[in-house]
Structure 1
Amino acid sequence: MSIPSQSFEQYTVAFYNVENLFDAIKDSHVLDEDFTEFGQKKWTENRYQKKLTKISDAISKIGFELTGKLPAIVGLAEVENKKVLHDLITQPKLAQSNYDFIHYNSPDERGIDVALLYDTRVFKPSHSEPLVVYLENEEGVRDTTRDILYVEGVLAGTPVHIYVNHWPSRRDGAETTDAKRVEVASQLIQHLEKKDPNSNRTDPYLEIQEAHHVIIMGDFNDDPENNSIKEGILPKGFDNITAPLKKFHRGTLNHQFKWNLFDQIMISESLHNDIYDCLYFHKADIFDDIMLRQWKGKYRGQPARTFVGRNYKGGYSDHFPVFALFRRN
């Protein structure tokens, strides 16, 4: 594979729902019995190691043909703990890439969290925290879900604020659960507006240190046209740079032969700029290379999953990653 050559700097920022990256060890604090040797998934150390190999291989290729290097930042969903993240970044395909990670245990009952991988050579985190999402069911009882991971730092000289999300699922029906995702969007924006009370994220003409550059990424369990995104996030000064990627024949996951684009990246309007020495958005895409796809049968072209129900398929994930390229002026 040839490495591209260009006179400008480029950096890849990606998001990947890795479909239940669990170790094979029982954790007494979460409901992970399925992902043990004698659980329903028959999750063995061998299967775990194969999963690590595949996910690390996929990450190593995201954006590589365009930049000649691995992603600077990768937001992850459905990781169990710090152990799996350490095991991931020490895989041969990633071990020489100076990755570190940020992770907090969330109150999700199944023990699946979000995390951030970053190349320590180009991203310098200065602050991180889990933003606790508070939801209640119809009986007024707390409905636990994943935290939002907030990370503040400097990417290639540009200060950025990153939010990694994995919003409540549609398992009980899209309409039934819609209000939950709308509420999570509201709580995210509340935090953002506290950090940026003057809405500097909307101004593409501010100097680097004055601007408030924001990247919101995640598996939102909603498509770009749904209320949580279209009404809850975008009017607050954001551009959904992944929205144009959704087509009848293309998306990041497929349910009953219908494509969805639940995995998205949104950026503040300030990242559409022409400021000297500042990062600016160049392009976005889905990394849906043939290596990540089913290659035969009636599900041909769909994500090659690790599991379909309880049946082990040995694939990568039920989601494709999305990514954005940023250039430096």
Structure 2
Amino acid sequence: MNRSFLTLLLTLCLSVHCLSAQAKKQVRLTVAFYNLENLFDTIDGDNNDEDFLPEGKNQWTQEKYKQKLHNMAYAISQIGSKNGPDIIGLCEMENRQVLQDLLAEPELRDLGYEIVHFDSPDKRGIDCALFYRSKYFQLLDARPHPVRLKGEEYIKTRDVLEVNGLLLGEPVSFLVSHWPSRVGGEQISLRRRMQAAQVMRSVTDSLLQANPAHKVILMGDFNDDPTSASVVQGLKAKVTPEDLAPQDLYNPMAKIHASGRGTLAYRDVWNLFDNLVVTANLIGGADTSLHLLQDKKSGDYAYIYSADFLTQKTGHFKGYPFRTFSSGRFQGGYSDHYPVYLYLTRTIEE
């Protein structure tokens, strides 16, 4: 075998190796959740929106509405990356139109988002929704699951939103929820959140029973912390990722909560009501399958986006999330909650 042939063979082998190496890349997607804090329009609707009308208690004018839209659009565009999250669950918006108005804002209009939304029976008229990029997520179907409070059917609360599809070709479902509030006291109202948790868990179990490889991300304003009974017993979410069984759920926000951080504050006490919970099959696994990206330094699987611009700079609530209203006065802020997010990663062939 002459030297020229050996050189040619080596060159071909190197070329094939380089092509093979170039044919794979690691993709990182951002999944987030954000409570928009009363994103209402200025139109008198069928719901109890009297406070958010120009003549209402909040004197909710078109100018204030436009500022709120701009603020929320900018905040969303910054979560996780400078192009916004690829999937984001949302709550506390009045209707589909305000979501369309939100996506029409300059910060979001070119980011390729599409909407999943259903009107809920909530007495205040606020709903849950999901924005997604069809570039990565192929929507298959979606449906709302009502949360009927036994013995208190007169209390109308938000549905659990189920969104099913293919994320980078893998079957993934997103469940978005806004559990009943703590009105009347944390313990008195706990059974309402327990029932919302059980609906969410039941939907998850059904998805896993149909396909154990199905991946589910549950998110929402649970109005409870990762260690609350509704989350640990009702949703049955584990607070550590070790020794997870295939049917288990893991709450990566629990580690953050244990450190004393939160997504909202009341009377100088921080709570972490905004939760991201995942099925066990999203922890670890092969690089060629979707899984949570773990921070190598902190060990965290999820994060609070507590940017400086989202934080109150002065006054009694200094250091709190910079909200739209405070003590009944318009502040021009963002939300009384910080958003939360995580990263999904997978190696794919280009």
Q: What TM-score results when the alignment is normalised by the length of structure 1?
A: 0.90
SS of the residue corresponding to residue 246 of structure 1 reads: helix
Matched, 1:158 2:170: yes
Measure the CA separation in 2 of the matches of 1:249 and 1:152: 34
**Deviation (angstroms), 1:312:** 1.1
Measure the CA separation in 1 of the matches of 2:108 and 2:199: 34
Q: Alpha-carbon deviations, 1:177-208, whole Å to 9, x = none?
A: 001111111122222222322672xxxxxxxx
Larger gyration radius, structure 1 or structure 2: 2
**What residue identity is the alignment partner of 1:251?**
G
**Deviation (angstroms), 1:247:** 5.0
Measure the CA separation in 2 of the matches of 1:175 and 1:226: 10
SS of the residue corresponding to residue 86 of structure 1 reads: helix
Structure 2: stretches of 5+ with no match in the other structure: 1-24, 239-246, 294-300
SS of the residue corresponding to residue 163 of structure 2 reads: strand
**What residue identity is the alignment partner of 2:54?**
E
- Residue 242 of structure 1 aligns with which residue? 253
Measure the CA separation in 2 of the matches of 1:49 and 1:195: 39
Matches within 5 A, 1:123-134: 123-134=137-148
Matches within 5 A, 1:1-329: 8-27=26-45, 29-64=46-81, 69-137=83-151, 140-197=152-209, 200=212, 211-233=213-235, 234=237, 237-246=248-257, 249-282=260-293, 283-329=301-347
Structure 1: stretches of 5+ with no match in the other structure: 1-6, 201-210
- Residue 241 of structure 2 aligns with which residue? none
Do the aligned partners of 2:160 and 2:199 also contact (CA within 8 Å) in 1?
A: no
Q: Alpha-carbon deviations, 1:145-201, whole Å to 9, x = none?
A: 00010000111222101100100000211010001111111122222222322672x
Measure the CA separation in 2 of the matches of 1:25 and 1:285: 36
**What residue identity is the alignment partner of 1:47?**
K
Query: RMSD across aligned C-alpha pairs, in angstroms?
Result: 1.7
Do the aligned partners of 1:79 and 1:114 also contact (CA within 8 Å) in 2?
A: yes
**What residue identity is the alignment partner of 2:262?**
G
Percent identical among aligned pairs is 39
**What residue identity is the alignment partner of 2:328?**
R
**Deviation (angstroms), 1:300:** 1.5
SS of the residue corresponding to residue 315 of structure 2 reads: coil
Measure the CA separation in 2 of the matches of 1:136 and 1:37: 37
Measure the CA separation in 1 of the matches of 2:153 and 2:308: 44
Measure the CA separation in 2 of the matches of 1:198 and 1:97: 33
Measure the CA separation in 2 of the matches of 1:218 and 1:76: 8
**Deviation (angstroms), 1:320:** 0.2
**What residue identity is the alignment partner of 1:240?**
N
**What residue identity is the alignment partner of 2:28?**
Q
